[in-house]
Amino acid sequence: MSSDEPATKRTVDVVVLTMNDRDEEFRTAMASVLAQQDVDLRVVIVGNGVEPDYVPDGVQSVTLDANTGIPEGRNVGADALVARGAEFLLFFDNDAVLPDPHTVTRLIAEFDRHPNAAYVQPRIADPATGQTLGRWVPRLRSGDSRRSGVVTVMAEGIVLVRRADFEAVGGWPGHFFLFHEGIDLSWRLWDLGRVGWYAGDIEVHHPATNPARHKPFYRMVARNRVWVARRRLPALLIPIYLAAWIVISIWRFRSSGNLGVWFRGFAEGLRTDVGERRAMSWRTVWRLTRAGRPPIV
């Protein structure tokens, strides 16, 4: 290729969900995606139980008859674009914003610098305050949100994933509906021999909302925590992981008035079908531990 010929653009499939409940935020989010430069984007909007009421020109849409939850809606969106064989998948909340038209190309550059990464997580910040919540920093020590490095979990709302790796592990756990699906996915990606990378110098915007605003929060975070353990951990580690999270959750939610709901969700996770069980290898347990987060917490 001569020096004056344009380089081939990298290909990215973008999946955005909507329930037609955030008109202004959704339009702003889509504008920021479509403004991305120097990248070949294909975008799909998945109406989760609704027909999308806003679909920009050139954007594909899918309408689901019922709200299947966030992870399964994202699976549907990824499947809708699978035929073109893009290199990456960007999962993007419909109230998020890419503040710079080169955000996606900067995220892709992180994959080139870290070829063993299956996913890259940008730093999420509230657009009004600039605050990055601790739960948005995918490691145990979240105080310095601008510090980049290898991570073992993800904040699911804005993440770029290699499509080949995503397909190799079977996508999101669709039946989780909401909460902890990123733990399940990231552990499976690590079990491929890959890693996650947190790019603390690449900022994206998302309002700092409280996840407990969702009515089923306490039940689902408990149920799905049990499902993650039963699906992905070696049998020896399951009781250790669950015992640790009982203690952590009692401490976190002791003043919420919802511990009873949390324990009912925990019991639901023990008695219900978890779907596929594919426990990670002990080699992956060791790799996660060396990366700073042993899979018992």
| Contacts of residue 138, Cβ cutoff 8 Å, sequence gap at least 6 | 121, 151, 152, 153, 154, 155, 182, 186, 196, 198
Tokens of 7: 């380089």
Q: Which residues, given as ranges, of the chain have pLDDT below 50?
A: 1-2, 5
CATH, domain 11-209, list 3.40.640.10, 3.40.630.10, 3.90.550.10, 3.30.200.20: 3.90.550.10
Task: Say if CB 242 and CB 229 are below 8 A apart.
Answer: yes
The H-assigned helical ranges of the chain are 23-34, 70-80, 103-113, 163-168, 181-191, 217-232, 238-253, 259-271, 282-290
Structure tokens at 59: 């954007």
Residue 151: strand pairing partners: 196
SS (H, E, C) 225-260: HHHHHHHHCCHHHHHHHHHHHHHHHHHHHCCCCCHH
Q: What is the pLDDT of residue 5?
A: 47
The burial of 15, by beta-carbon neighbours within 10 Å (0-12 exposed, 13-18 middle, 19 or more buried), is given as buried
Angle between helical axes of 181-191 and 217-232 (0-180°, round to 10): 20
Taking the C-alpha atoms of residue 21 and residue 53, their distance in angstroms, rounded to an integer, is 10
- Give the number of residues written for the chain: 297
SS3 102: coil
DSSP-derived secondary structure letter, 42: E
Give 64's strand partners: 48
Position 101 scores a pLDDT of 98
pLDDT value for 214:
66
CB 81 within 8 A of CB 13: yes
Per DSSP (E only), the strands in 126-179 are: 149-151, 158-162
Residue 149: predicted pLDDT: 97
